[in-house]
Amino acid sequence: MKKQRLNLCLFLLIGVLLLAAGTVAAQEKVLVPNFTVTDSSGESVSLSDYRGKVVVLNFWASWCPPCRAEMGELQKLHDELVESGDAVLLMLNQIDGQRETTASGTEYLKKNNYTMRNLFDYGQVSFAIFGVPGLPTTVVIDEEGYLASYVVGPTTLKTVSRMIEEAR
C-alpha cells in the first residue's frame, strides 16, 4: 500500500511538472518510473532498457497538426543522435484505437520517410505517468533516469539539443 501511494505521488508530481508550458527544467530530482511499450515488430521496450543514456521521449499522434509540424526537426535530431550515440530519441505514439491506430502512426511515418524509433503505447500508460497535458510533448530524462526537462507543444532541433546538453 505504501509503495502504491509513493508511485501515485511520483506520477502526480511528474504530471504537475509537465503542466507548465514551454521548456522547463525539472525543479526537483524525480526518478521516472519504468514503463513498457511495444515497437513495430511487437517486441516489448522498457524505459529501463536505456539506463545510462540520455533519453528523449516525444509524445505524438498522426492526427495532431503540431506533432506533424515538428517531425522534420525530430528526424534531424534522430539522425544526429544515431551518428553520435550520445542519446536516444523514442517516439511514443499514443494509440487509442479510434483516432490513432498502429496503422495510422506507422503509415504516417513511412509515407514521410521518417526513421525515428516509433513505440506504441496502447494503454497510454506513459502518457498517464507523465501527466501529458497535450500533444506534442517532449521529455528529456538524464542518464540516471531522472526527469531533466520537458517542453509542451512543438519543439525544434536547437531546443531539444540544448535540453540534452543540460541533462548531461
pLDDT, one tens digit per residue, over 103-120 is: 999 999 999 999 999 999
d(CA 130, CA 128): 5
pTM for the structure as a whole? 0.84
Q: How far apart are alpha carbons 37 and 127 in whole angstroms?
A: 11
**Cα gap 92→90, rounded to integer Å:** 6
Residue partners of 158: CB distance under 8 A and separation at least 6: none
Check: CB of residue 124 under 8 Å from CB of residue 96: yes
SS3 for 91? strand
Domains of the chain (ranges; CATH) run 2-167 (3.40.30.10)
**Residue 53 cell numbers, joined:** 543514456
Q: What is the mean pLDDT of the chain?
A: 88
The string of pLDDT tens digits covering residues 37-72 is 999 999 999 999 999 999 999 999 999 999 999 999
Closest CA to 159 of 27, 24, 14, 20: 24
